[in-house]
Amino acid sequence: MGAPQETKKGRAIAPLDQALINPTREPGEALVAPRVILAFTRPDFHNLCRQVHSAGPPRYLWDCALHEGSWAGQGVTVAGPALGAPYAVMVLERLIALGAKAILALGWCGSLQRQVQVGSLVVPTAAVSGDGTSPHYLPGGKQPTPHPGLCRLLQDRLQDTDLPVHCGPIWTTDAFYRETREQVSRHQAQGVLGVDLELAALLAVGQFRQVAVAGLLVVSDELADLTWRPGFRTPAFRQGRREATRVVLDAAAAAAEIIV
C-alpha cells in the first residue's frame, strides 16, 4: 500500500488503494506462535493436533480452529480447516496480525501431469492464479511465489523420503467443479504440476505482507488424461498425508533460521 499523500493544506490523504478494513489484534486476544501450520482440510488439522500434543479446547478465527503445541522443542500453532482461497486468506491475515512469521500451508491437489501420481508430494515453487483473491494482493498479473528460505526447508526435509517428490508450479482455482478440459490441457502444456484451491492466494498474501509463506501438497486425485481419477481412499494417499505432516512439522521447527 502506498504512503499517505499530502494536500496543499498539509492534511494527510490516504491513497486510493489503501484498504478500509485491516487485520488487527483485538484487545486481550492471545498471540499465536511465530511458526504456524495452516491445514486446508479437517483430517490433516486433527492429525497435526495429535502430533503436537495440543490440549484443551481450541480458539477460533471465524470457524477456523487454532491449537497450540510443540514439535522438536519449538512452539507451533496449528490452524484449520481453511478451505478455499478467500477464506484461507482471511484466516492468514488474522494469523499474521497475531504474530505469525513463518506459515506453512498443508493441503491436497489434483495432478495435471502423468508422472505426478496419487500419494506424491508437491512443493509449489510458483503459482498460477486462477482464483479471485490473488490479484487483490499482486495486481498486474504478478506471479505468486513462496518464501525461498521456507520453501528450501521443505525441500531439504524431503530428501530422505521414499515417496515421489515434485517441485514446480501449481494452478489455484476457485471453481472445483469448473476445472474444464481446456483449462487442464492448457496448464498441463505449460508444465503446471497440479491444481488446488488455496495456495496462490496465500503466497500472494505472504509477498504483500512480507512474511514467510510456503506450502506442501499431497496428490489426492489425477486429471492428467482429462478424466477425474480420485484417490482419496487409497493407501498411497494416506501414506503421503502422513509423510507430509512429518515434513511440515520438521520444517516449522527449523523455521527459526528464516524468521526475522
| Domains of the chain and any CATH numbers | 31-257 (3.40.50.1580)
C-alpha cell read off for 69: 503445541
Question: Which residues have CB under 8 Å from 51's CB, separation 6+?
Answer: 69, 71, 245, 249
According to the model, what pLDDT value does residue 8 have?
43
According to the model, what pLDDT value does residue 234 have?
98
Note if the bond before 81 is cis, omega within 30 degrees. Answer: yes
Question: What is the residue-level pLDDT of the chain in tens, covering all 260 positions?
Answer: 444 444 445 455 567 778 999 999 999 999 999 999 999 999 999 999 999 999 999 999 999 999 999 999 999 999 999 999 999 999 999 999 999 999 999 999 999 999 999 999 999 999 999 999 999 999 988 999 999 999 999 999 999 999 999 999 999 999 999 999 999 999 999 999 999 999 999 999 999 999 999 999 999 999 999 999 999 999 999 999 999 999 999 999 999 878 86
Candidates 147, 144, 92, 93; CA nearest to 259 is 147
Question: Which residues have CB under 8 Å from 175's CB, separation 6+?
Answer: none
Cα separations (Å) of 200 from 113, 147, 168?
19, 12, 13
Distance from the Cα of residue 62 to its chain's centroid: 18
Candidates 142, 136, 99; CA nearest to 20 is 136
* Rounded (10°) angle between helices 42-51 and 235-254: 50
Cα separations (Å) of 187 from 86, 192, 217?
22, 5, 17
C-alpha cell read off for 53: 500434543
C-alpha cell read off for 90: 482471511
According to the model, what pLDDT value does residue 14 have?
60
d(CA 126, CA 110) in angstroms, rounded, equals: 16
Candidates 120, 124, 125; CA nearest to 241 is 120
d(CA 125, CA 38) in angstroms, rounded, equals: 18
Our CA angle for 195, 201, 202, nearest 5°, is 105
For residues 69 and 79, is the Cβ–Cβ distance under 8 A? Answer: no
